[in-house]
Structure 1
Amino acid sequence: MMHLPKGLIVSCQAPVSSPLDDPYIIAAMAQAAVNNGAVAVRIDTPNHINAVRAKVQVPIIGLWKQVITGSHIYITPQFHHAVAVAEAGADIIAIDATTRNRPGDEKLPDVINNIHQQLGKPVMADVDTYQAAKLAVEAGVDIVGTTLFGYTSETKSFAPPGWELLTQIIESLKIFVIYEGGVSSPEMAVKALELGTDAVVVGTAITGIDLLVQAYNNNITNFYKQSKIST
């Protein structure tokens, strides 16, 4: 199975409403990331994975976000989504491994086993809690990522970075660990490495043009509003 190097992984994604949500643009982002030192990229949707595969040789962590009625699981929720991700060229399949109810009859261990046996791909478990990480490791995943900390009902009262969760996983589970979530500076990435993570995923802070511009614009707009009130 594919070996994932330690270091910086860049998540190259864009909101579906954005003009950046285009295979050519996502592939260009990925190529720029790799040209400047990224050891891997994280890519959503088969179309984008296919475009990125044609441009880079580093490992692709592939996923497919899908909203399914009756379940909050949305990152590669079912095995047939994993098949499409693998066929598009992903080297590693990322799946939602939280303890929330899964769609259909598939159980987490079954999805992991099918990816291993039928696709021959390693599995990255995107988790939100230590319990989810522990169960994922017991189910046979190859990599654990803190991707969903702060994004589930169980962790909604928290916000990334999840340093405590990262530390707990590193200290208690013998697994390749990826820190993902809320890394907004090179210094934060280094802190994650100092805590013992094997790799760091950075997304919005590098490739999130839409969200970054919104944040700057909101602050600037609020400044003008407050200035008018104060005068």
Structure 2
Amino acid sequence: MKQKLISDLKDGFILSCQALPNEPLYGSRNMAAMAVAAEEGGAAAIRANTPEDIREMKRKCSLPIIGLFKKHYEDSAIYITPTMDEVTEIVEAGANFVAVDCTRLPRPGNQSLDDLISQIRTTFPQIPIVADVSIYEEGVNAISLGVDLVSTTMSGYTPHSPQQDAPDIELVRKLARLGKVPVLAEGRLWNIEQCLNSFDVGAYAVVVGTAITRPQEIVKRYVQNIRRVAVTKY
């Protein structure tokens, strides 16, 4: 079961359907509609935040879901599925995969990443673990702990990772070269060319979110570029 879930992602397009409380499309109904649209378009899977969204998506579409639960703790900067409590909630909601922040930032309660991965393995042995990392060394460490997939999700979102507008293709390349686990390219992928570049360097699948599911950010990019050209032209 686990291996089939993973193999079905091969060369696939994964849509990240997420919205924050202050955004226009926030709400499980809207995110589920995005998931249905993704399924109709041929996506291989969905990446989704919160148990509520995951439950609604499972009711509306048949795609596998990479689940996460963003939650903030006062003693940690980690917020993507930070503890076993969040893991349990999203698995019980129906997530087929669990995405976990595997960066080197301090964890809530000073728990070690090794301990969290071990807990997930013991409690939910059939759930594939997706390690969200920001740099190569974090990916190597997560692989050594036995995760099933590595994603470049956090590159640019930790103070010690490259701060750039473009996707971190080099990180995808370096992790893929290890040949240990499938590598998901995620983060600042805005067009098909960037997705194809990710596959060229070894990505197992690509994950796109903001460029499709956050229309206010899409419009903002159009407006900024139009204004930039207008200023130059006139």
Shorter-chain TM-score above 0.5 = yes
RMSD: 1.8
Matched, 1:209 2:212: no
CA shift at 1:158, angstroms?
3.5
For 2:182 and 2:37, the matched residues in 1 are separated by 26
Worse-matched range after superposition: 213-222 or 31-40: 213-222
Worse-matched range after superposition: 91-100 or 177-186: 177-186
Residue 71 (structure 1) aligns with: 76
Residue 43 (structure 1) aligns with: 48
Residue 146 (structure 2) aligns with: 140
Q: 1:223 to 1:187 in 2, by over 3 A?
A: closer
Normalised by the length of structure 1, the TM-score is 0.92
**Sequence identity, in percent?**
38
For 2:66 and 2:78, the matched residues in 1 are separated by 18
> Secondary structure of the residue that 1:99 maps to in structure 2?
coil
Alignment of 1:100-119 (within 5 A): 100-119=105-124
> Secondary structure of the residue that 1:80 maps to in structure 2?
helix
Q: 1:167 to 1:64 in 2, by over 3 A?
A: same
Normalised by the length of structure 2, the TM-score is 0.91
Q: Give the counterpart of 1:168 among 171, 174, 179.
A: 174
Instruction: For 2:86, give the aligned amino acid.
Output: H
For 2:164 and 2:225, the matched residues in 1 are separated by 23
Q: Give the counterpart of 1:32 among 34, 37, 42.
A: 37
Alignment of 1:211-226 (within 5 A): 211-220=217-226, 226=231
Deviations 1:49-73 (A, max 9, x none): 1111111222100001112112111
Matched, 1:90 2:90: no
Residue 133 (structure 2) aligns with: 127
Q: Give the counterpart of 1:193 among 173, 193, 199.
A: 199
Instruction: For 1:186, give the aligned amino acid.
Output: I
The answer (yes or no) to whether the contact 1:63–1:82 under 8 Å persists in 2 is yes
* Aligned residue-pair number: 228
